[in-house]
Structure 1
Amino acid sequence: MNLVNLESVSLAYGPKPLLDDVSLGIESGDRIGVVGRNGDGKTTLVSLIAGTVAPHGGRVTHTRGLRVGVVAQADDMEPGLTVGEVVLGERAEHEWAGDQGIREILGNLLGDIELQARVGELSGGERRRSALARVLIGEHDLIVLDEPTNHLDIEAIAWLAGHLAARRSALLVVTHDRWFLDAVSTRTWEVVDGAVHRYEGGYAAYVLAKAERARIAQATEDRRQNLMRKEIAWLRRGPPARTSKPKFRIDAAQALIADEPPPRNTVELVSFASARLGKTVYDLDEVTLHAGGPGQGPLVLDRCTFQFGPGDRLGLIGVNGSGKSSVLRLLADAVRPDSGRVVRGRTVRLAHLSQELAELDPNRRVLETVEEIRAFIQVGKREWTASQLLERLGFRGEAQWKVIGDLSGGERRRLQVLRLLMDDPNVLLLDEPTNDLDIETLNELEDLLDAWPGTLVLVSHDRYFLERVTDRCVALLGDGRLSLLPGGVDEYLQRRSAGTALTARASLTTPSAPTPQQTAAAPERSAKELREAQKELSRLERRLERIGEQEATLHAAMARSASDYGRLAEMDAELKDLASQRQSVEVEWMELAERLEG
């Protein structure tokens, strides 16, 4: 059934139209992701579809009785109401408390928020989650979400993706979170230059389709694209070729992917990083750290020992409030540990991007603020001017001469990232660098970071960006340690799930009217089993960390011995042996976690 129709719709703010003669529709069951540069009209498009904005030309038609649930970038919740009144409406307590679906939504989005709290007392992130819960609890034919993953951690984003995929309602979502797009959407709309281009599939399919269009359109391509064009020309020559076209498309796609080089030459970058940084970057030795200062606030690290080496590209994962930003501030020497030592390498040249926007002179111009740091910078094997890098990060043409006071939050964020890179650091600490950045800018930033040699520690809830620019993940799981995650984000989610299951089982009471023997023995046996299981998990995690350290040492040694082929062969054999050990330990860890969860 057709839900919404746009017929020759136009809308403009100022001389440039955001949408120009756009016609499209949404049917029941559609799951559409909307992408495009900031300012190109994504929010305008979904506002027209939701009925909150009227077009300047054309017509928007809703089917009769259409139920639309909207989460906009700015909420409309009354500050004097309680969270329960806003989210649950007129539902009686027994009604929503007895509904498993509602309890699941409240638990995953509002688990740390009191339903009696006033909306006016909430933070921006808490208001956002409350608005999202209000819409998800309702029954809708079409759900419209504008940046729903803002203020959600990786765990909550994974839950939201699964929840939306299981709903029957149509979905229209604007987000810069590319992993989330792939998880929830089956079609993609790109808003660009007043038009809406439609693609089948999620983000990955959209990228492949755009790449294919670009390859065909370009007159000068490298050797792989030339071969591809020759194959297409051969296909057009006769009927026998046309009959095998579908198979060719599959084979050609596989060939292109197979020929694609890795995004980074890890050995080369480690070699560069070692030359610039030396052997020591950061060594944590028995460090204890509280988020609010010595002895204040939640415990983040408890007698933790960990090494950050030259060329390491680490993603730091944890729930909101676990202390990720505190760890970055510790490395940046902005806070002191309660106890223990933080050894910093003598050659470290640090750049720290925090979540707060740095103060910039609002009267200065964009290009001036970058050139005052450095006019040129070497990224990998190429030299870039300040103007060229500004263009790569979205400041094109006259935008480089904008006054800083006129920039949006996203533009300030881009400028802040670029100023840090222009200072030529060899250690980057990035705290949520993707906030307010559109997908095109994220692609350019990823490309820049691929060629950047140095140690990178990244905190981000953008799973795609995290997995794209880092090589390993470590997690704060609430046990005071930095736990290595060989399986990346997937392993983190599994371990969080297993930990939640363990906590739930430990909190269960004994059956009613237990015997004295049950009362005395059952809790003791359960607690003992739990301690033994956690002890074994910790042992396996320490083993994985030691293997990871050995692998990092071997990679650095291989970079130093690039011309000694005999030694390289020996070290390669050692690496394969370590990989085999890692696989064996990972299997053992997973089997234990599954037994505990089951």
Structure 2
Amino acid sequence: MSQIQIIDLTFSYDTHFESIFEHVSVLLDTDWRTGLIGRNGTGKTTFLKLLSGAYPYRGRIRMSEMAEYFPVDIRDARKSSLEVLEEIDPDYEFWRVLREMEWMGMDSAILERPYGTLSPGERIRLQLAVLFAKEHAFLLIDEPTNHLDEEGRQMLASYLSRKKGFLLVSHDRRLLDACTDHTMAIERSSIRIYKGSFQTWQREKSLRDQAELEQNQKLKKEIRHLEAAAREAGRWAGNKEKEKIGHKVGGLKPDRGAIGHKAAKMMKRSKVLEHRMEKAAKEKAGLLKDIETVEELKMFPLDYEKERLVSVEGISFARGDRQILKDFSLEIRRGDRIALKGPNGCGKTTILKLIAGIYQPDEGRIQTGSGLKISVVSQDSSEMRGTLAELEEEAGLDKTLFRAVLRKLDFSRDQFDKRLEEYSEGQRKKVLLAKSLCEPSHLYIWDEPLNYIDIFTRIQIENLILERKPSMIFVEHDSVFTERIAKSAVRFEKDPQSAGFKAVFESSGLDKEQGDV
């Protein structure tokens, strides 16, 4: 057991006017399985990079174990997986790596394959196996679930729950609950550590926020009373001062000494009340800094005049020698929210692109309702180029509405003048989501919309969809989101009768086989 001491940490990028971290002090135990959470742009990845020694900083970071950052950037994907293993750790012990691979259900034969042929899940598992095989290493794991399917996430959660200690950045609530025992939250004005998983943090944070809001209301009321009392005391003191130079009363001169004494007492009381009011105001100003306000979003689903929006009839689709879909059928009706589930490579994204008209089927047909307006959020945002203004013009967006939605997604105004290629993955995804929310549509086609998106924004979007009830078909590996949003699902399962997958329709507990994929 050892500790990571972070003392008076201050850091800012050369291109930023404000510090990402300012005078931060935190104590971590390397035996803890700690989840690191916070909104996009709060510095979670930066924090991991600082611990790994990637950036210069002010302050002190003390740790006895070696910090290892995941994912490792492998530049040459043509290398064999065994060569990549050596690149990650030249001093690796082969038996240790094989042990970790076995615990993750990996076949050692993949070490003979070119790294570039491995699936995203296989690459993640291989890298983690090498890093966890290192002795005296503390892992800094940065968003390992992006593009991982449901099965891959379950495997990862099971594996991490058996490890000794790490610091994990993830927006997957189920993963955090399954494998962490502490939560480190980068909040609005501080960093706090909670004992327990994400649900524990969420519960304690909610109680603390509620207590602060109640105290805030109490202080507001107290300040109003103190302001009124101070004004009244000041008025009395002023009136008494005037009596010192007033006219005779009953032929007698006023006792200026007595009146002055009483006026001074009233003035002193006024100053005491003013001091108490200032103290209460300062106390009030210290509240609400860490409260996460989730603003209400808007979207504009259109009501289609007919019941059926899209009909997919017996389509097949292949890429080269690989048959991706075969004799697949599906119907999307008004009010449907259909989730496509299954392992990576089973054809989920292909189906969305076929429905959106990006691909054309080799066989069968897709009938889209006349005049049907479709809004798409694509899985990949890496090709986004240009400025927000250019995007607004090209997509015909209302600039005021679009930027208001971005602000509600916690997008800072100083980001508006940057080019899209300078945005983080999470920021680019928020741009795509905001664009879709601003497009009045009959059908929303979303492909992994929550990759890189923080937990608070996920909750915002869930609540919006449940309120506005748009017609949707989507792919999303965040199981909490899917369980809350989907009204039905198409699950792709390995077909023992063939080399491909079969599609099973799930709705209200009733399963109905569709066709071979």
Deviation, structure 1 residue 160: 0.9
Aligned to 2:18: 16
Task: Please name the residue that 1:419 is paired with.
Answer: 435
- Residue 47 of structure 1 is aligned with which of 49, 56, 62? 49
Deviations 1:280-314 (CA, angstroms, capped at 9, x unpaired): 122233x132242xxx4433433233322211112
1:74-93 aligned at under 5 Å gives the runs 74-75=72-73, 82-87=80-85
Is the partner of 2:304 in helix, strand or coil?
helix
CA 1:355 to 1:149, structure 2 compared with 1: closer, same or farther past 3 Å? same
Letter of the 2:397 counterpart: I
Measured in 2, the distance between the counterparts of 1:332 and 1:190 equals 39
Aligned to 1:3: 3
Match of 2:170 in 1: 175
Find the partner of 2:375 among 348, 351, 370: 351
After TM superposition, give the deviation of residue 456 of structure 1 in Å.
Answer: 0.9
What residue is the counterpart of 2:222 in the other structure? none
Please give the residue correspondences for 1:345-494 in structure 2 after superposition, counting only pairs within 5 Å: 345-346=369-370, 348-357=372-381, 362-365=386-389, 368-369=392-393, 372-374=396-398, 385-404=401-420, 406-479=422-495, 480-485=501-506
Match of 1:142 among 138, 143, 146: 138
* C-alpha contact 1:77 1:86 (8 A) present in aligned 2: no
Does 2:291 correspond to 1:290? no
Measured against aligned partners, the alpha-carbon deviations of 1:179-205 in whole angstroms (never above 9, x if no partner) come to: 211111122111245631222322222
Q: Structure 1 residues 189, 412: CA separation in 2 closer, same or farther (over 3 Å shift)?
A: same
1:247-262 equivalences in 2 (<5 Å): none
| Correspondence for 2:70 | 71
2:430 is paired with a residue whose SS is: helix
In the alignment, the residues of structure 1 paired with residue 214 and residue 428 of structure 2 have an alpha-carbon distance, to the nearest angstrom, of: 36
For the 8 Å contact 1:4–1:26, the answer to whether it is kept is yes
Structure 2 residue aligned with 1:202, among 197, 204, 209? 197
Matched letter for residue 211 of structure 1: S
| Kept after mapping to 1: 8 A contact 2:74/2:84 | no
C-alpha contact 1:390 1:400 (8 A) present in aligned 2: no
Deviation at 1:172, TM superposition (A): 0.8
How far has the Cα of 1:162 moved from its partner? Answer: 0.5
- The answer to whether structure 1 residue 115 and structure 2 residue 111 are counterparts is yes
Structure-to-structure mapping, 1:313-324, within 5 angstroms: 313-324=337-348
Scaled by the length of structure 1, the TM-score of the pair is 0.62
Alignment of 1:526-545 (within 5 A): 541-542=511-512
Distance 1:195 1:6, change over 3 A: same
- CA distance in 2 between counterparts of 1:351 and 1:453 reads 15
- For 2:185, the equivalent position in structure 1 comes to 190
Q: In the superposition, relative to structure 1, how do residues 176 and 277 fare at CA in structure 2: closer, same or farther (>3 Å)?
A: farther
Paired residues of 1:301 and 1:481 also in contact (CA < 8 A): no
**The structure with more radius of gyration:** 2
> Which letter does structure 2 place at the counterpart of 1:177?
D
How big is the shift at 1:218? 3.0
Q: Shift in Å at residue 370 of structure 1?
A: 9.1
C-alpha distance in 1 between matches for 2:216 and 2:304: 35
Contact 1:128 1:151 in 2 (8 A): no
Structure 1 stretch displaced more, 133-142 or 366-375: 366-375
Partner of 1:534: none
Residue type of the alignment partner of 1:191 = I
Higher relative contact order (Cα pairs below 8 Å, separated by 6+ residues): 2
Query: CA offset at residue 174 of structure 1?
Result: 0.8
5+ residue gaps, structure 1: 223-262, 264-268, 377-384, 489-539, 546-598
Q: Given the superposition, is the C-alpha separation of residues 408 and 30 from structure 1 closer, same or farther in structure 2, using an over 3 Å criterion?
A: closer
Q: Distance in 1 between matches of 2:139 and 2:463?
A: 34
Query: Is the CA contact 1:365–1:402 (under 8 Å) kept in the aligned structure 2?
Result: no
One-letter identity of the residue aligned with 2:84: V
Question: Does the Cα contact within 8 Å between 2:301 and 2:468 map onto a contact in 1?
Answer: no
Unaligned runs of 5+ residues in structure 2 are 218-295, 496-500
Per-residue displacement from partner, 1:234-272 (whole Å, max 9, x unpaired)? xxxxxxxxxxxxxxxxxxxxxxxxxxxxx9xxxxx9xx9
Aligned to 1:566: none
Distance 2:424 2:315 in 1: 39
Q: Distance in 1 between matches of 2:391 and 2:368?
A: 33
Match of 1:216 in 2: 211
Opposite residue 415 of structure 1, the aligned amino acid is: V
Query: Which residue is equivalent to 2:61?
Result: 60
Q: CA deviation at 1:462?
A: 2.4
* Corresponding position: 1:163 with 2:187: no
Aligned residue pairs: how many? Answer: 424
Residue deviations 1:74-114, cap 9 Å, x none?
52677675312433767787x479x655334361xx78x84
Q: In structure 2, the residue corresponding to 1:541 is in which secondary structure?
A: strand
AA in 2 matched with 1:482: A
- Gap change, CA 1:30 and 1:368, over 3 Å in 2: same
Among all aligned residue pairs of Structure 1 and Structure 2, give the percentage whose two residues are the same amino acid. 26
CA distances 1:495-526 after superposition (whole Å, capped 9, x unpaired) = xxxxxxxxxxxxxxxxxxxxxxxxxxxxxxxx
- The C-alpha deviation readout for 1:366-423, integer Å capped at 9, x for no partner, is 89559942368xxxxxxxx334312112224444454545433432221122222212
Q: From the superposition, tell whether residues 359 and 26 of structure 1 become closer, same or farther in structure 2 (CA, over 3 Å).
A: closer
